[in-house]
Amino acid sequence: MAPKITGYKTHDIRFPTSLSGDGTDAMNTDCDYSSAYVKLYTDSDLTGYGMTFTIGRGNDIVCKAIEELANRLIGKDTEEIFANMGKTWDYLSSDSQLRWIGPEKGVIHIALGAVDNALWDMYARARNKPLWKLVVDMTPEEIVNATAFRYITDAITREEALAMLKEKAATRAEREAKVRELGYPAYVTSAGWLGYSDEKVARLTREAVEAGFNHFKMKVGADRDSDLRRGKIIRSIIDDPQYLPPGLKPRDPNGPDLVGKNAGPTGSVLMIDANQVWDVPQAIEYVKSLAEIKPWFIEEPTAPDDILGHAAIRKALKPYGIGVATGEHAHNRMVFKQLLQAEAIDVCQIDSCRLAGVSEVLSVLLMAAKFGVPVCPHAGGVGLCEYVIHLSLIDYIAVSGTMERNVLEFVDHLHEHFLYPCSINKNGRYNVPSNAKEGYSIEMHESSIAEYEFPNGSYWKSVR
């Protein structure tokens, strides 16, 4: 007899990252990286773990919304849930009273992300596989059934998605072997927070180059002169061969993986991120003024749901060789649909829990693959790196079939709080999660919960 879901527990977990300046940008100046965390229990030992990311205040509100959604699962047969995860997603998103406070956006939607991710974690654990492996071992028909398709069939139909997946299915094993050997390409943001001194930016950039990274992102938008200065500091290091690790030769800036990315002489790439701080005309003029540091793209140049604004910015910056990326605050698959249809982005940046879990992420991966736009997920926050490596592996192995121009964000913060933390190899690439017990890799140490649960964890008590 299959286990049934019997209960849940939420935890409001907050880390005091505002004290060190981690996560600071032009819009978000005092981030306390936080997790609205949920455990789903069954009448067996099987448990599912999920979370969504916030930056502090309001995390308790998300936890309350998670409880409302998780309550809908009580008494459900897990195997019936797993049999059609797309149908399960539709069920969770269809409560008319809870939907009213979205619909499919805001607090209720990111809460659904936590619950859906917990179900996928439980599913993977039930099959003794990491989440990515669970999905890439599915048949094309099973993946389509696991995907949220409502409201996007004018961009991609189930039949089109099935044909795309079938086309890639025969060569999945080759790609899986390749990424296990090489790792998945990563970029680093840890050196580029606005709250860091020039000295810290330089030191962290040198350390990132030494660690094998060749894609780097910095935050911009608070002060143009400061942005240029910091950009030149980063460029002076990443473009200088003397800082490369011993034995590592410069990459070809005109190679297929780097052409069009404004790579410097060592093959290093710089990206910039404004975190929504500008109006459209401001964004265009500001980014033009940063052209001398040669960014590949400007991320989140304006309001995240301004599709036509992003399209206008992309058109204006194209003569300067600067692209546009967005998505970490795109609150559902319909926003991504419109960004792709309007040719508003060069890079698609999914977020693992701003979108409402794996089933909605699958819909965006499929659309991006159809439109030929690379997916480079957002991962700047607690637990997000642990999540998104699974999603990028699914994209590469089962959906798009390419990782040549893709890079996955890596931020070196707070991984020690997870039982199965992500890791980076000597070439600046993510290692492939391989523990059969880790599911979606988001289970936290109980000691971390006890210390940082708000407001009664040991840390928060100590600073009252």
Dihedral Cα 300, 273, 428, 267, nearest 10 deg = 110
Structure tokens at 462: 């100590």
Predicted structure pTM score: 0.97
Q: Which strand (E) or helix (H) includes residue 94?
A: none
Question: What is the C-alpha separation between 158 and 211, in angstroms, rounded?
Answer: 42
CA distances (Å), origin 297, targets 305, 314, 324, 387: 18, 9, 5, 24
Q: What is the pLDDT along the chain (464 residues), one digit of tens a residue?
A: 899 999 999 999 999 998 876 666 667 667 899 999 999 999 999 999 999 999 999 999 999 999 999 999 999 999 999 999 999 999 999 999 999 999 999 999 999 999 999 999 999 999 999 999 999 999 999 999 999 999 999 999 999 999 999 999 999 999 999 999 999 999 999 888 888 899 999 999 999 999 999 999 999 999 999 999 999 999 999 999 999 999 889 999 999 999 999 999 999 999 999 999 999 999 999 999 999 999 999 999 999 999 999 999 999 999 999 999 999 999 999 999 999 999 999 999 999 999 999 999 999 999 999 999 999 999 988 999 999 999 999 999 999 999 999 999 999 889 999 999 999 999 999 999 999 999 999 999 999 999 999 999 999 999 98
Query: Looking at residue 84, what DSSP letter applies?
Result: T
Give the C-alpha separation, 428 to 184, whole Å.
9
Angle at 192 between CA 235 and CA 463, to 5 degrees: 155
Exposure string of 151-179, with b = 16+ CB inside 10 Å and e = fewer, is ebeebbeeeebbebbeebeeebeebbeeb
**Neighbouring-strand partners of residue 217:** 271
215 is catalytic: no
Torsion of CA 128, 131, 134, 137, to 10 degrees: -130
Q: For residue 291, which of 272, 276, 305, 312 has the smallest C-alpha distance? A: 272
Give the tokens for residue 412. 């070196």
By residue count, the chain amounts to: 464
Query: Does residue 157 sit in helix, strand or coil?
Result: coil
Helices (H), 137-251: 140-145, 158-169, 172-182, 198-210, 224-238
Nearest residue to 115 via CA among 60, 73, 59, 55: 73
* DSSP annotation string for 332-344: SHHHHHHHHHTT-
Catalytic-role residue among 219, 261, 310, 413? 219
Tokens of 389: 């490596």
The candidate with the shortest Cα–Cα distance to 353, out of 380, 325, 374, is 380
Half-sphere CA count of 300, side-chain side, radius 13 A? 23
Omega cis (within 30) before 455: yes
Question: Which of the following is catalytic: 168, 294, 310, 378?
Answer: 378
Contact (CB, 8 A) for 135 and 359: no
Catalytic site includes residue 426: no
Q: How is 355-367 classified by DSSP, letter by letter?
A: SSSHHHHHHHHHH
Q: Please name the helix (run of DSSP H) or strand (run of DSSP E) that holds residue 78, with its range, or none.
A: helix 78-83
Q: H or E element: which one contains 460?
A: helix 458-462
Q: Which pLDDT belongs to residue 19? A: 85
CA 464 to chain centroid, in Å, comes to 33
Q: Per the structure block, which two tokens stand in for 292?
A: 């001398």
User: Residue 297 in 3-state DSSP?
Assistant: strand
Pairing of strands 184-188, 5-14: unpaired
Strand stretches in 264-320, DSSP E:
269-273, 295-299
